[in-house]
């Protein structure tokens, strides 16, 4: 029975990305970006799992590449797609979009990760009762950094600052550059947290890091600082975009992509149903609240333009 969750998640992700490619088949640039997103996801997962060894994936997944489920790489493309579709109506500047997309991606992971580890999809080193119900806070910072780093290069390649050849180089090399820039951000996040906590000196942290000992990230004092840093970053981003969206209200586009809307609902629903069918709510009743709250928050982001700009022309596309 437990394998059923794996199969639904795995083949659900693969079928979803195939449906996305089918729907967007005429948009060659977007299809190309999604292929790059899959490669990016697989590369960063291979690097993380085999180098940091801070988490591992369940062996029940049927399709794996270097012990990385294909569904995970595909999942990153889905996250990129729904995040972009969720923010495109706000008509933000190109460099702002990646950070808004990162917030959308984080809202998804906050809802699914703690449930996923209890389904056995992947497992972190820390116990279930530490940090975010067993999920390290640096993972959530990683989700922010994963999206804003890759999306930044992709959006940069679309600008008129460069000729076509340079733009293509930026776009294609984003798959190679982004994982290393991402690693630098996550390492910096945990090292700074360890030092600010007062538990370690810079020299002690660097010694442990050079010895591939990442235990410094999981001391209680460090976990607390990581939590503060993460929520401060999230709060700053939310406040920033509240201001920017209000300033930009007259330029907001009133359009709903019902396809991406359906993907979001199905994704959240899968994990909400898993909470109920696996009786996770018995020990963690808050999981139901978190799941529903984040689903409604995402729906609110999609519908907010219709509230802000009530007089605009509305469009609901398939």
Angle at 246 between CA 242 and CA 252, to 5 degrees: 110
pLDDT at 59: 85
pLDDT confidence tier of residue 65, bands split at 50, 70 and 90: confident
pLDDT at 153 > cutoff 70: yes
DSSP-H helix ranges across 197-257? 202-210, 220-247
Q: What pLDDT digit, counting tens, does each position of 132-150 carry?
A: 999 999 999 999 999 999 9
Q: Which residue matches tokens 């290393």?
A: 180
Determine which of 71-85, 145-159, 204-218, 227-241 has the lowest per-residue pLDDT on average: 204-218
Q: Residue 77: pLDDT band by 50, 70, 90 thresholds?
A: very high
Strands (E), the chain: 55-57, 64-65, 68-69, 122-124, 255-257, 315-317
Backbone dihedral region for residue 63 (phi beyond 0: left; psi -120 to 50: alpha; all else: beta):
beta
Q: Residue 311 pLDDT more than 70?
A: no
Of 160 and 225, more confident = 225
Total residues found in the chain within this entry: 318
Report angle CA 242, 190, 203 to the nearest 5 degrees.
Answer: 140
> In terms of pLDDT, which residue wins out, 122 or 307?
122
Instruction: Tell me the domain boundaries of the chain.
Output: 2-317
Confidence class for position 1, pLDDT limits 50, 70, 90: low
- Place 184 in a pLDDT band, splitting at 50, 70 and 90: very high
> What percent of the chain has a predicted confidence (pLDDT) above 90?
72
Indicate the range of 31-35, 160-164, 275-279 predicted with least confidence: 160-164
Of the candidates 87, 177, 94, 193, the residue with the CA atom closest to the CA atom of residue 140? 193
Count the Cβ atoms, other than its own, within 10 Å of residue 172. Answer: 15
- Residue 90's SS3 state is helix
Mean predicted confidence (pLDDT) in 178-188: 91
48 has a pLDDT exceeding 90? no
Choose the weakest-confidence range: 55-59, 229-233, 312-316: 312-316
């Amino acid at each position: 029975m437990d394998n059923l969750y794996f199969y639904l998640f795995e083949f659900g992700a693969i079928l979803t990305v195939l449906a996305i490619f089918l729907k967007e088949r005429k948009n060659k640039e977007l299809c190309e970006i999604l292929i790059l997103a899959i490669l990016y996801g697989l590369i960063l997962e291979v690097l993380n799992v085999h180098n940091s060894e801070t988490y591992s994936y369940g062996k029940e997944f049927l399709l794996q590449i270097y012990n990385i489920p294909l569904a995970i790489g595909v999942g990153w493309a889905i996250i990129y797609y729904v995040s972009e579709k969720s923010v495109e109506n706000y008509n933000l500047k190109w460099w702002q979009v990646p950070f808004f997309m990162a917030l959308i991606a984080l809202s998804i992971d906050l809802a699914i990760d703690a449930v996923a580890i209890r389904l056995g999809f992947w497992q972190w080193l820390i116990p279930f009762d530490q940090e975010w119900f067993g999920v390290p806070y640096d993972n959530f910072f990683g989700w922010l950094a994963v999206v804003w780093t890759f999306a930044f290069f992709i959006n940069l390649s679309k600008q008129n600052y460069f000729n076509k050849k340079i733009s293509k180089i930026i776009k294609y090399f984003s798959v190679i550059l982004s994982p290393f820039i991402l690693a630098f951000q996550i390492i910096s996040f945990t090292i700074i947290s360890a030092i600010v906590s007062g538990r370690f000196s810079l020299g002690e942290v660097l010694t442990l890091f050079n010895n591939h000992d990442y235990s410094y990230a999981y001391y209680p004092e460090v976990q607390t600082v990581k939590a503060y840093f993460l929520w401060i970053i999230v709060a700053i981003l939310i406040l920033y975009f509240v201001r920017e969206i209000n300033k930009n209200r007259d330029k907001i586009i009133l359009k709903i992509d019902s396809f991406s809307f359906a993907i979001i609902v199905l994704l959240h629903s899968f994990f909400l149903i898993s909470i109920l069918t696996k009786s996770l709510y018995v020990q963690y009743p808050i999981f139901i609240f978190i799941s529903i709250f984040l689903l409604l928050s995402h729906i609110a982001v999609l519908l907010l333009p219709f509230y802000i700009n009530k007089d605009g022309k509305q469009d609901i596309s398939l």
